[in-house]
Amino acid sequence: MIELITEFLSSTVMTASLLPAMLIAVVTASMSVMVMAHRLSFLTVGVSHASLAGLGIAVSLSLPLLPVATLFSVAIALLLALMPKRQGISEDAGTGILFAGSMALGIVLISTATTTRVDLFGLLFGNILTVTADEKLWLYLLSSLILAMMLLASRAWWSIAFDAVTAEASGLPVNALRLLLYGLVGLTVILCVKLAGIVLTAGLLVLPAACAWIWGRSLAELWILSTAFSVGGTLIGLIWSYAYEWPSGASVVLALCGLFVVSWLVKTIMPTQR
């Protein structure tokens, strides 16, 4: 075991991807608390799948992948935040429609483009090991933006999740804050796509907070626990990925699922442990 870890740490591919992976872990853990509090897990599924259309557009127009996908995801997330109100469509139906439609568009665009440029398997299931220097810069930029916004607005979002009417009556700009949250979920999804791929992104944005929910009793505790679970799960996943040559994203999501099941079992067996 120790041998494996030292071997893991001396592997240049792994150490190069360790910092971005840890950063993604911290950012997704932070956002996942809000995703959980605002019941946005289906939104993360919808936006991550919709980002395939953004990638498809970028591929067929030969534009840089990440910036275009980022813009597209944020636009989709904001559209989902606004659509239900305007048209009287329930939010989950709206998400379902956009999710299927843009995924279909993405598949058509990518399949008609020159396929040599795109690693479709990498997009769908993620591969943190192939992160380029440009992508790293983009990740650092987005991460610091998201973390800064979290620090500033997390209490307001928390207050809205607890009781939106009272939050509005106490003078918070509830609608603007909600739009901001949806937009940031869009951004975070793009970060995750690099690590976990389109299909597994929701795992990174739901599981850390779901684990923390079992133990935490306040916003601060949830945030700390969620980050701890996320960083732990990512490390375990990357080591598995290295040891058994499993895909990195799937390994991380599996590790997080394992942590959740263990947490849940421990809590169920010892319910008085508080």
Interface residue list for other proteins (CB under 8 A): 37, 151-156, 158-159, 161-163, 165-173, 213, 216-219, 221-222
State the nearest-atom distance from the C-beta of 41 to other proteins, in Å. Answer: 13
d(CA 261, CA 271): 15
Nearer to other proteins, 86 or 217 (CB): 217
State the nearest-atom distance from the C-beta of 145 to other proteins, in Å. Answer: 17
Nearer to other proteins, 102 or 159 (CB): 159
State the nearest-atom distance from the C-beta of 223 to other proteins, in Å. Answer: 11
State the nearest-atom distance from the C-beta of 222 to other proteins, in Å. Answer: 6
d(CA 145, CA 74): 14
Nearer to other proteins, 161 or 254 (CB): 161
State the nearest-atom distance from the C-beta of 216 to other proteins, in Å. Answer: 5
Question: Crossing angle of helices 12-37/2-10, nearest 10°?
Answer: 100
List all residues 6 or more positions away from 51 whose beta carbon is below 8 Å from its beta carbon.
Answer: 69, 72, 73, 76, 106, 189, 190, 193, 198
The answer to whether 192 touches 201, Cβ cutoff 8 Å, is: yes
Nearer to other proteins, 125 or 223 (CB): 223
Nearer to other proteins, 122 or 216 (CB): 216
The answer to whether 235 touches 258, Cβ cutoff 8 Å, is: no
Q: Which of 47, 191, 55, 196 is nearest to 125 (CA)?
A: 196
